[in-house]
Structure 1
Amino acid sequence: MTRTELNIGVLGAGQIAQSAHFESCTKAANARLYAICDLADDLRERMAHTHAPDKTFADYDDMLADPGLDAVIIATADAFHVPAAIRALRAGKHVLSEKPVGTSIEETAELARLVRDSGLTYMVGHMKRFDPGIQAAKAFIDGDMGQMVALKAWYCDSTRRYPMTDAVQPLIVTSARSRRPEGDPKTDKRRYYMLAHGSHLVDTARFLGGPITAVRARLSDQRGMFCWFVETEFANGVLGHLDLTVAVRMDWHEGFQIYGQNGSALGKTFNPWYFRSSEVDIFDERSGTSSRILGEDGHFYRRQVEGFARCILDGAPMTGASIEDGLASMRAMRAIALSVETGTRVELASVTGVM
């Protein structure tokens, strides 16, 4: 492509679109909010007045048929991610989909085959890969740190999260006409917390530590808290430990510790709606120094859109999470669930099924 801006249509005008994707498309240096699509007329029209896309659509296929549309952001409920992505790819449109990539390994594997055959760009919305602090840690790991020895990572949602989130997010507009999946996905808290929060933890661990090959997990479910402790085996021999807890009686608690041959990296990650880069301290054993990137641009949702657009407009390499990353994360989350159920070590290559 020779244009300097990518025309993006956002499917779904709910909370994540209002909090992140509309603004990201309007602020991006190399993309624009071309269209908004939602079945709910009242919600779609209000978002159009607020964010001023070129076009609006009530029908997804009508948006996909628009020759001016280059790509879609799928900002719907989890159950709709894969079907919506398949329709977009078959219409010749690039896709940035909210995480998790899907709800079963089988549907995600089918999507992965279509992505490979299409030659189009597909990215999973693991926006933490565009956090400057986490990117600094990744650069140190891939460079001066040498062989990694161990990785610990944690994602602990907080009971204080919603008052804090409400204070910094825009007022979320809802509609009784919005399309929702059958039943209430949030009633099965084990599944909901793993897909909503565990997907972030697993992807960050994979981004920093490499492919995960096996897990052994335990779950404590008491006093209104769900706490997964996961022994993790990485393909490179790294020893890992993951902690997913919802919800801790304290401030938001997320971060990582990585120990390597020539140094270490310790990271503190903040509530995502603060748009604040992770504070990552990098210790270099050889020079006897420590450093921390300022990371002044912490709008990782906008940075994600710009990275997505660079792949398409400029042929830049994928820096976000690919469909293969999404499938690997699905396998890891399924393996954790199976390990909790069976009390045994589970190899990711052996797992199938629905989350």
Structure 2
Amino acid sequence: MMHQKLRVGVLGCGPISQAAHFESCTKASNAELYAICDSADDLRQRMTAMWAPKVAYSDYQAMLDDENVDAIIIATTDAFHVQLAMKALHAGKHVLCEKPLGITVEECEELAQAVRHSGRLFQVAHMKRFDGGIQAAHDFIQQEMGNLVAYKGWYGDNSHRYTVTDAVQPKIITSAAKRKPAVDPKSDLQRYYMLAHGSHLVDTARYLAGDINEVEARFTHRGGVHCWFVDIAFANGTLGHLDLSVGVRMDWHEGFQIYGENGSILGKTYNPWLFKSSEVDIFHENGAFWRRPLAADGHFYRRQVEAFAHAILTDSPQTGTSVEEGLAIVKTMAAIGESVRTGRSVCVASAQGAV
């Protein structure tokens, strides 16, 4: 237990803050929920009563001007991420920004440049990197697997997911006064699902198998299911395939299968709101045995905040998704979209425009 704690200000009192960030900041061993900010008076007052931060703000700049706030968690809608992160960096704050980093390659490139000049720590909130099972897979790959041969990853958000979240999440409080982007994000579900779910699928693939050089994607929307099949070429020569399917008629279906020189990995990941670590089975060729790490602590959002705080308080390297990796994820998603439109393979490094 650290005696010094990172004083966090959470921007946005919407669903992700209510379901994850507020609790994470109050449970973290090395951070505290110092401030919250939301322009909707009714929502901010309700969350203040529930979570008891030291201070609550209706104006974002006022929270940024508070010298006691060390870091900002940006928990707003995707379209606002970059501009609000820029303001936090200019105010000298460290930033944990909800995924995706942004919605266009160009704005993310601008943000990455600002981070490089800021001297502040910036982390994208891909909380699956703090799933103990996925971390165990990563460690085996780095330390024992040898050359990777193939990576298959899938993410199937199911048709009954709201039955699950209604049962396990706290009741989400909404406000008619909430700030909305100019365009409803859900007016284009193909783009919305790629940003919301594809960002997780790509980040896990990059975390486990490395940088992605090229993608070739196909897309269909049939029977109420949005489905992308993506062949990928990793920079290290590994072959890859990603399956993003939203609305699958079954249980939540997420995981990965990895073949390597000295073993293989089979991973099953659960609906995140069950706070259950992935079940990861690792086969060791040397000795011919399977093992499954316990990974008992399934609160990846709290572990994410603790890792973010630890890196800042101890001046240690960050273990979460960096801004450069966040940019690479957005470029990969943009490349997938271009491949779907053109029917050709696309180099990730050359991808531009909106996801």
1:241: which partner in 2?
A: 241
Q: Quote the Cα distance in structure 2 between the aligned partners of 1:330 and 1:3.
A: 37
Residue 3 of structure 1: CA displacement? 6.3
d(CA) in 2 for partners of 1:258 and 1:64? 44
CA contact (8 A) 2:48 2:56 kept: yes
- The alignment status of 1:293 with 2:300, answered yes or no, reads no
Q: Whole-Å Cα distance in 2 between the matches of residues 341 and 176 of structure 1?
A: 37
Tell me, yes or no, if structure 1 residue 311 matches structure 2 residue 306: no
Distance 1:236 1:95 in 2: 31
1:194 equivalenced with 2:194 (yes/no): yes
Kept in 1, the 8 Å contact 2:13–2:44? The answer is: yes
CA distance in 1 between partners of 2:209 and 2:183 (Å): 36
Q: Would you identify which runs of 4 or more consecutive aligned residues in structure 1 move more than 4 Å? A: none
- The answer to whether 1:215 aligns with 2:211 is no
| Matched residue SS, 1:4 | coil
Equivalent position SS for 2:321: coil
Indicate the residue corresponding to 2:179 in structure 1.
179
Q: Distance in 2 between matches of 1:348 and 1:335?
A: 6
Question: In structure 2, what residue type is equivalent to 1:354?
Answer: A
- Shift in Å, 1:354: 1.3
Kindly provide the CA deviation profile for residues 167-215 of structure 1, in whole angstroms up to 9, marking residues without a partner as x: 0000000000110111211010110000000000000000001000000
- State how far apart, in whole Å, the 2-side matches of 1:42 and 1:327 are: 35
Partners of 2:354 and 2:289 lie apart in 1 by 47
| Cα deviation code 1:201-231 (max 9, x no counterpart) | 0000000010000000000111111110000
| Corresponding residue number in structure 2 for 1:279 | 279
Q: Aligned partners of 2:314 and 2:163: how far apart in 1? A: 41
Question: Mapping of 1:1-355 within 5 angstroms?
Answer: 4-355=4-355
Distance 1:241 1:193 in 2: 18
Alpha-carbon separation, structure 1, partners of 2:76 and 2:350: 30
TM-score, normalising length: structure 1: 0.99
Kept in 2, the 8 Å contact 1:232–1:242? The answer is yes
The runs of 5 or more residues in structure 1 that have no matched partner are none
Task: Report deviation, 1:106.
Answer: 0.4
**Aligned equivalents of 1:26 and 1:291: distance in 2?**
34
Q: Deviations over 1:18-53 (max 9, x none)?
A: 000000000000000000000001100000000000
* Aligned-partner residue type, residue 305 of structure 1: V
Would the aligned equivalents of 2:124 and 2:322 in 1 still touch at CA under 8 Å? yes
Contact 2:3 2:30 in 1 (8 A): no
CA distance in 2 between counterparts of 1:64 and 1:338 reads 38
Instruction: Report the TM-score, using the length of structure 2 for normalisation.
Output: 0.99
Give the Cα separation in 1 of the matches to 2:291 and 2:316: 29
Q: Could you tell me how far apart the structure 2 residues matched to 1:81 and 1:69 are?
A: 19
Q: Distance in 1 between matches of 2:122 and 2:317?
A: 12
What whole-Å deviation, never above 9, does each CA across 1:153-176 have from its counterpart, x for those lacking one? 000000010011110000000000
Task: Work out whether residues 267 and 278 of structure 2, in 8 Å CA contact, stay in contact via their aligned partners in 1.
Answer: yes
Tell me, in whole angstroms, the C-alpha distance in 1 between the residues paired with 2:77 and 2:301: 18
Conserved in 2, the CA contact under 8 Å of 1:199 and 1:333? yes
Contact 1:157–1:253 under 8 Å retained in 2: yes
CA-CA distance at 1:59 after TM superposition: 0.2
- State the 1:351 CA deviation: 1.1
Letter in 1 for 2:5: E
SS, match of residue 245 in structure 1: strand
* Percent identity for Structure 1 against Structure 2: 61
**Is the 1:3–1:313 contact (alpha carbons within 8 Å) kept by the matching residues of 2?**
no
